[in-house]
């Protein structure tokens, strides 16, 4: 094998198996320590002893000499009952190669040898450079070589040319059975005889022999390639370089000439001694500038890889050889020059070689811009009251349809609405118990004649029988004419014809209209009502159908779909007609249009019913539609993201974003050709995950295979010729294991569909779609090249300076193997475009299509890079994530959160570069926040799009599978899915570096139970399980209850350690843990309904399957944990005559523990800890207000609703809460509350006006109403508390407008360590910490004997902070909180008088995050405050507080449960 081809082959093998890995039963393998990858360097020095240890290593296979000794049978090993391994060794004479021959008898499947060599100077396996064909490198730690099948046996020969190798070690893997064969549980080890030539190396080399440095460089590079491009330390590099020199010296000393050595290494032609000087002079020498140009062309064709200088020397010599071969054929240098020097190739080469002697990938210089310049804040949320846009006033045709549907026994069979001019005609076929009828109704009020017939087959006009003619009809030869008659419905006039049909087996009714002498047709064709097109059930008739959609618009679309199917011209014209109605319906109207167009783009709707339409007519209709979208894009910025999606689905040529088409069309090919399994399904999964240029080759291989009459060898031949081996197919993230296995009857359809598909693949991977979009914006003339010829388009005006050069750079690099420079160029182009897209420039549409093409090319290039990132350093992966984040921000309307994620991620990247030891912990917080942003985006898309997809899909009869995955496919096709895939790759790296492990154990309890998988804990919180149950819940928000019978909860979600559900789990002795490892989580989900035992530590969990008897024998006190009912009771509280009391009056009879504790702290804490002033509305006040004559009706309503609750109608809970808000405040209550608040120095809301008092009164009522929230109600039922006895006092405090809020547990709740304080901190008010707000708080621990040294456990990932103006908060304080054995805290609501402002948080400017000194000071102060409060009470405390301007305030404390 030649030097260059050997290098290529080794690289393919290395890539080919990188993703392969053994099963759980993988072999014990000697592994090399990982290190940073780099190639050998030039200036290396080798110790003489190292050179002496090595014999000469040939880069090619060497034939075994005929006079060698025959192989000695070394041993036999039994593999299984009828299969045996036989090993024979042929020892190596001095300086030659040892052979090991392996033969396995009676084999059924394909066997793989997993092996390496042993040397006395190495602890790990050596990977010999001489390898049998098909050998692949496994993780740079072992080799994998396939056995060769020979009859019933499998054989393999290994040659070892390194004299220092003493043995080989191996295992055998049977791929078919997924089975490893070992030698008595250990690796097989075959010793090579000690008589082998050892230690002489290059000792015979003359010390005076020298080798040119350029040849040493090439040899060193070839050695590095042969050794699998391993990572070398500087010392190893020196050894390798000098070993290369020693090998070449050895060859020279054996008599090989320097010229022959150069020829072999560079593949340059050798000069022959027999050639005369005269004949030598006739061969022209290749000019150096042409060699450079040709080397550049070769480099471009290879995808501009990052070759090291040594490899480029080889490339220059290869270019020289190819050109010399051309000259040898008789072509002159001038002809060669003319052939090669086209376009700007010379300037490209000279630019590359201006300051260096090799080629390298150019990079653009990105502008330094604040990422917040990319900010857009156009939200498009769908709320409960927005989901249904008020329908337009029903038309007379709607009323007529409704009147038919409401008739007893009348079934609407088919319905079709047609437009003519400004009027409509509706054709409806109905059936009652007696006969079938056709009704034709129109809002056209001029005299009108129906010219009609009946048809038993398509295209037929058949005169109807005379006995069914309506009155006054005139029978013609093949038709009938009937006049419309006028009628009224609900005061609206219309004209109608009704025809009662006989049982003639008619398929439909063709008709035209005549008004006077004017014939009216349906866009040039006959109108036609198809009786076989049934109105879809389960749609309009169902009450909830269409909820969450622009229902009227979707029904209008469904009415017009039959016309739309005639051609794309009809569809785009109809779409343009519907734009105004969609705009009037708001966001859901725009979404409705998108869903319809998306169904079209994914071939779920018919594109053309054999309707002959000219391309320019389609283009005109498409322009009309996209012009309307462009105008809306300018005027309604809040819809831009969805409008872009519509335009991407339509595309410039009506076929949509080619990048998305790759995903969509493979599904259509599978469905149309009945090839949904096997290789086609595996390829489909690969295409969905990361389409790459390989897919062009795979598609061509399939086409060649089909055209060869299904000869499978042709398929493999095409793949292999283009560098795609079986190993490479297996290396994809979604591996392709199978071969195609088509049937002869599939050939014609597959040839057609795959041929069309190839165009989409090439359009993406050659950048053709991008090229078209760029050319349209930059302008081109008739003298243009390629597909541009004969067209003239002017450039878009007002483009940024340097923009054409930037786009030229993008096109130059669109096929580069290294995607990084291309990605940077694409992003820079999008960033430069963004200000224009936010404005209203001329030809906005062309710029939108350019941006769509840039975005699509970016996503494809990222997917192409997945393989290169397999072994990349963390910094490289982080940089790619940064690029994808920026691209997502540029494609998102409301991108504030994404941009703050990008800022934080870039800050983490800088921390990596400066080797900050906190980088991984910091990056993990932002990785979690990015995931939250992606999840939020996915939920938003689902809420916004899926209802419309389901309703319109049902109206149009779209395949259910396509409806079900509608939103999922939208998400998978965007940058969010690409980003998610990169995050999933990087998360384990971060967890490992930050020592976070795969688990966070929130409540460490050893439990056993049956695994039950649920989507969300909230959905089952009121359920009771009759046996010990461990829930695997995909979603846990933090405010849920733990259901009866549940002994454990495992979730991928990240609720705060101090959230309600976390506290509840610890109190109820329930295992509660977050699992970060998706593979572990999938494994647990696979154990659904199985009995498992879980054993946690503070940082990890182990689990195993157990038997029923083991469960019964379990002595764990938690076996019944989920069913344990605490023995608690309530004492009913009475109204003691006061509507409001000051802190001095707080007592057990008047208020709950929350109020009493805060009053108790007054004067007992250090001066630097503040305690807010408080008053309270005592127990019994709610009942007193309810009994007031003012509220008699409210009291009666609540009593009725309580009766519903007794009957377990839990919908009454929400109704009670609404009813409580109707209470009127007695005058005495207002008077007393004002006196107490003013007397305590608190502001009185009423001083700012009656409206402010009403706000305060509403907040008080909301606190009372929270007695009936679902979580609290079911929690009291669970412990059998009498809900009637639950009383609610209200603690009134002035809000501290906090910088930060915190919760402290003075004993670490995760470990139970009483010497350690645990606390969590959030920015803004504490509701984001104690409420169910997504993301994690900052967390830390602090030893009580070292309060100046808090230890940070995690940075915050909460995207939202709550902030408020100076205000009052009304806190719930019930008698059902902090009971022994029952934690009722957090069940009821605390309500501020004013609404909080939600602010998207930027942690990169927060001193608590970026200033170590400030952070240490604040966290230390929080820990000191917690410790001081614990000292006051003498027991562990659960403390809530805030930080304002560096001062600590405690707002409540309770015993830690």
Q: What residues are labeled active site?
A: 1060
1179: DSSP letter: T
- Report the candidate in 1041, 1013, 1011 with the shortest Cα–Cα distance to residue 1111: 1011
Q: What are phi and psi of 277, to 5 degrees?
A: -55, -35
Q: Which residues of 922-945 are buried (b: 16+ CB within 10 A; e: fewer)?
A: bbbbbbbbbbbbbeebbeebbebb
What does the block give as tokens for 547? 């909820």
What does the block give as tokens for 584? 């009037």
- Report the candidate in 1175, 1282, 1194, 1290 with the shortest Cα–Cα distance to residue 1234: 1175
CA R_g for the chain:
39
Contact 201, 243 (CB under 8 A): no
Contact 1397, 1274 (CB under 8 A): no
Residue 329: which region, alpha, beta or left (left: phi > 0; alpha: psi -120 to 50)?
alpha
Whole-number Å distance between alpha carbons of 641 and 892: 6
Whole-number Å distance between alpha carbons of 271 and 259: 8
Tell me which residue has tokens 């509350």.
Answer: 1233
Q: Is 268 exposed, middle or buried (0-12, 13-18, 19+ CB in 10 A)?
A: middle
- Report the candidate in 1032, 1074, 1082, 1071 with the shortest Cα–Cα distance to residue 1053: 1074
If you write DSSP's letter for every residue of 767-797 in order, what string do you get? THHHHHHHHHHH-B-TT--GGGTT--BPPPT
Whole-number Å distance between alpha carbons of 530 and 429: 9
Residues forming beta bridges with residue 156, ordered by sequence position:
102
Whole-number Å distance between alpha carbons of 191 and 204: 27
Contact 509, 460 (CB under 8 A): no
Whole-number Å distance between alpha carbons of 159 and 196: 13
Q: Is the dihedral of CA 123, 129, 131, 134 positive or negative?
A: positive
Whole-number Å distance between alpha carbons of 472 and 449: 11
Whole-number Å distance between alpha carbons of 1179 and 1264: 11
Q: Which residues contact 1337 (CB under 8 A, 6 or more apart)?
A: 1056, 1058, 1320, 1321, 1322, 1328, 1329, 1356, 1358
17: DSSP letter: T
Whole-number Å distance between alpha carbons of 1054 and 1073: 9
Whole-number Å distance between alpha carbons of 786 and 766: 14
Q: Is the dihedral of CA 651, 652, 658, 664 positive or negative?
A: positive
Q: What are phi and psi of 892, to 5 degrees?
A: -120, 135
- Report the candidate in 702, 709, 711, 714 with the shortest Cα–Cα distance to residue 678: 702
Q: What CA–CA distances, in Å, run from 1015 to 428, 1018, 1037, 1170, 1299?
A: 44, 9, 12, 43, 36
Whole-number Å distance between alpha carbons of 587 and 651: 21
Q: Residue 988 in 3-state DSSP?
A: helix
Q: What CA–CA distances, in Å, run from 215 to 241, 268, 292?
A: 11, 13, 19
Contact 629, 574 (CB under 8 A): no
Q: Residue 161 in 3-state DSSP?
A: coil
């Amino acid at each position: 094998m030649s030097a260059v081809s050997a290098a290529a082959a080794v690289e393919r093998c290395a890539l080919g198996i990188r993703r392969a890995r053994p099963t759980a039963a993988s072999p014990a393998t000697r592994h090399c320590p990982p290190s940073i990858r780099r190639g050998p360097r030039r200036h290396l020095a080798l110790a003489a002893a190292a050179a002496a240890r090595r014999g000469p290593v040939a880069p090619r296979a060497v034939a075994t000499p005929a006079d060698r000794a025959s192989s000695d049978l070394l041993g036999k090993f039994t593999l299984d009952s009828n299969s045996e391994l036989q090993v024979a060794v042929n020892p190596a004479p001095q300086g030659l190669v040892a052979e090991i021959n392996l033969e396995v008898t009676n084999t059924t499947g394909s066997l793989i040898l997993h092996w390496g060599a042993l040397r006395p100077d190495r602890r790990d396996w050596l990977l010999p450079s001489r390898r049998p064909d098909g050998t692949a490198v496994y993780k740079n730690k072992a080799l994998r070589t396939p056995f060769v099948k020979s009859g019933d046996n499998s054989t393999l020969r290994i040659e070892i040319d390194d004299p220092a190798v003493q043995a080989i070690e191996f295992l055998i893997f049977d791929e078919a059975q997924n089975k490893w064969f070992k030698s008595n549980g250990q690796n097989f080890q075959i010793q090579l005889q000690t008589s082998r030539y050892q230690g002489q190396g290059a000792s015979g080399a003359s010390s005076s022999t020298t080798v040119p440095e350029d040849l040493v460089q090439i040899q060193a590079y070839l050695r590095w390639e042969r050794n699998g491009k391993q990572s070398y330390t500087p010392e190893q590099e020196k050894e390798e370089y000098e070993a290369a020199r020693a090998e070449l010296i050895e060859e020279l000393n054996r008599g090989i000439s320097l010229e022959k050595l150069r020829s072999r290494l560079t593949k340059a032609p050798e000069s022959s001694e027999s050639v005369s000087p005269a004949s030598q002079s006739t061969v022209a020498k290749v000019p150096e500038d042409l060699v450079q140009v040709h080397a550049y062309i070769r480099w471009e064709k290879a995808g501009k890889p990052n070759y090291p200088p040594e490899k480029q020397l080889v490339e220059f010599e290869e270019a020289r050889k190819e050109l010399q071969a051309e000259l040898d054929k008789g072509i002159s240098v001038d002809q060669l020059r003319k052939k090669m020097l086209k376009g700007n190739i010379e300037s490209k080469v000279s630019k590359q070689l201006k300051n260096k002697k090799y080629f390298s990938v150019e990079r653009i210089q990105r502008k330094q811009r604040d990422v917040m310049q990319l900010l857009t804040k156009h939200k498009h949320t769908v709320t409960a009251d927005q989901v249904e846009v008020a329908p337009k006033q029903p038309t007379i045709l709607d009323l007529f349809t409704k009147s038919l549907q409401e008739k007893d026994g009348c079934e609407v069979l088919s319905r079709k609405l047609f437009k003519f001019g400004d009027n409509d005609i509706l054709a409806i076929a109905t059936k009652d118990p007696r006969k079938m009828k056709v009704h034709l109704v129109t809002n056209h009020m001029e005299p009108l004649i129906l010219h009609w017939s009946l048809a038993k087959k398509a295209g037929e006009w058949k005169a109807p029988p005379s006995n069914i003619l309506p009155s006054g009809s005139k029978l013609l030869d093949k038709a009938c004419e009937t006049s419309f008659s006028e009628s009224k419905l609900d005061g609206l006039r219309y004209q109608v014809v009704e025809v009662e049909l006989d049982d003639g087996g008619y398929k439909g009714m063709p008709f035209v209209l005549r008004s006077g002498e004017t014939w009216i047709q349906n866009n040039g064709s006959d109108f036609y009502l198809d009786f076989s097109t049934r109105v879809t059930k389960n749609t309009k008739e169902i009450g909830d159908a269409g909820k969450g959609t622009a229902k009227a618009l979707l029904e209008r679309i469904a009415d017009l779909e039959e016309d739309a199917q005639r051609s794309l011209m009809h569809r785009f014209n109809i779409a343009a007609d519907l734009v105004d109605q969609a705009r009037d319906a708001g966001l859901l109207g725009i979404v409705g249009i998108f869903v319809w167009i998306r169904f079209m783009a994914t071939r779920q709707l018919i594109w053309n019913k054999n309707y002959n339409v000219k391309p320019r007519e389609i283009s005109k209709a498409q322009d009309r539609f996209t012009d309307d979208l462009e105008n809306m894009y300018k005027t309604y910025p809040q819809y831009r993201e969805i409008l872009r999606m519509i335009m991407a689905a339509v595309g410039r040529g009506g076929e949509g974003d080619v990048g998305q088409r790759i995903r969509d069309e493979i599904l259509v090919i599978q469905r149309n050709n009945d090839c949904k399994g096997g290789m086609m399904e595996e390829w489909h999964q690969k295409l969905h995950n990361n389409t790459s240029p390989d897919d062009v080759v795979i598609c061509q291989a399939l086409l060649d295979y089909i055209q060869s009459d299904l000869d499978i060898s042709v398929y493999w031949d095409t793949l292999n010729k283009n560098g795609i081996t079986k190993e490479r197919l297996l290396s994809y993230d979604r591996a392709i294991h199978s071969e195609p296995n088509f049937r002869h009857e599939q050939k014609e359809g597959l040839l057609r569909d795959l041929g069309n598909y190839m165009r989409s693949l090439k359009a993406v991977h050659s950048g053709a779609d991008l090229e078209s979009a760029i050319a349209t914006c930059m302008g081109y003339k008739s003298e243009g090249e390629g597909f541009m010829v004969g067209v003239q388009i002017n450039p878009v005006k007002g483009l940024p300076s340097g923009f054409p050069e930037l786009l030229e750079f993008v096109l130059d690099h669109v096929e580069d193997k290294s995607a990084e420079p291309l990605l940077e160029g694409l992003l820079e182009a999008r960033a430069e475009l963004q200000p224009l897209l936010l404005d209203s420039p001329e030809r906005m549409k062309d710029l939108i299509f350019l941006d769509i093409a840039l975005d699509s090319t970016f996503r494809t290039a990222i997917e192409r890079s997945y393989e290169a990132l397999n072994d990349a350093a963390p910094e490289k992966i982080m940089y790619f994530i940064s690029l994808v984040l920026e691209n997502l921000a540029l494609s998102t309307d409301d991108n504030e959160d994404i941009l703050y994620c990008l800022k934080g991620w870039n800050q983490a990247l800088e921390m990596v570069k400066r080797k900050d030891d906190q980088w991984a912990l910091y990056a993990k917080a932002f990785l979690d926040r990015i995931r939250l942003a992606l999840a939020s985006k996915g939920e938003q898309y689902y809420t916004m799009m899926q209802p419309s997809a389901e309703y319109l899909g049902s109206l149009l009869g779209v395949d259910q599978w396509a409806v079900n995955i509608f939103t999922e496919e939208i998400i998978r096709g965007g940058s969010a899915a690409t980003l998610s895939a990169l995050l999933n790759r990087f998360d384990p790296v971060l967890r490992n570096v930050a020592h976070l492990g795969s688990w966070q154990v929130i409540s460490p309890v050893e439990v056993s139970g049956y695994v039950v998988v649920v989507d969300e804990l909230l959905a089952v919180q009121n359920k009771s399980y009759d046996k010990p149950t461990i829930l695997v819940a995909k979603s846990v928000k933090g405010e849920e209850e733990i259901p009866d019978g549940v002994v454990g909860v495992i979730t991928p979600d990240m609720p705060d350690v101090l959230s309600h559900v976390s506290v509840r789990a610890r109190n109820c002795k329930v295992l509660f843990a977050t699992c970060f490892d998706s593979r572990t989580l999938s494994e647990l989900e696979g154990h659904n309904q199985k009995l498992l035992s879980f054993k946690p530590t503070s940082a990890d969990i182990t689990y195993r399957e157990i038997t029923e008897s083991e469960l019964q024998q379990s002595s764990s006190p938690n076996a019944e944990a989920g069913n344990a009912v605490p023995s608690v009771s309530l004492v009913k509280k009475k109204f003691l005559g006061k509507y409001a009391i000051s802190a001095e009056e707080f007592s057990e009879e008047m208020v709950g523990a929350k109020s009493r504790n805060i009053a108790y702290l007054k004067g007992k804490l250090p001066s630097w800890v503040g305690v807010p002033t408080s008053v309270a509305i005592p127990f019994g006040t709610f009942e007193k207000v309810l009994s007031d004559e003012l509220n008699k009706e409210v009291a009666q309503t609540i009593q009725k609703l309580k009766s519903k609750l007794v009957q377990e109608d839990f919908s009454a809970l929400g109704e009670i809460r609404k009813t409580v808000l109707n209470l009127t405040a007695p005058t005495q209550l207002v008077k007393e509350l004002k006196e107490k608040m003013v007397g305590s120095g608190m502001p009185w809301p009423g001083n700012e006006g009656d409206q402010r008092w009403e706000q305060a009164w509403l907040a008080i009522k909301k606190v009372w109403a929270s007695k009936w929230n679902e979580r609290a109600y079911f929690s009291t039922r669970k412990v059998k508390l009498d809900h009637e006895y639950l009383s609610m006092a209200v603690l009134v405090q002035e809000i501290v407008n906090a910088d930060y809020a915190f919760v402290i547990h003075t004993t670490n709740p995760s470990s139970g360590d009483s010497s350690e304080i645990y606390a969590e901190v959030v920015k803004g008010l504490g509701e984001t910490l104690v409420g169910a707000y997504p993301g994690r708080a900052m967390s830390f621990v602090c030893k009580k004997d070292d309060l100046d040294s808090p230890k940070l456990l995690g940075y915050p990932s909460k995207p939202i902070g709550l902030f408020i103006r100076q205000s009052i908060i009304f806190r719930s304080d019930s008698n059902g909180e902090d009971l022994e054995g029952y934690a009722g805290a957090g069940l009821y609501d605390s309500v501020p008088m004013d609404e909080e402002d939600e602010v998207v948080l930027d942690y990169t400017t927060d001193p608590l995050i970026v200033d170590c000194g400030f952070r240490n000071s604040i966290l230390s102060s929080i820990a000191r405050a917690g410790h001081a409060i614990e000292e006051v009470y003498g027991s562990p405390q659960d403390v809530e507080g805030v930080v304002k301007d560096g001062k600590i305030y405690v707002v409540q404390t309770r015993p830690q449960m």
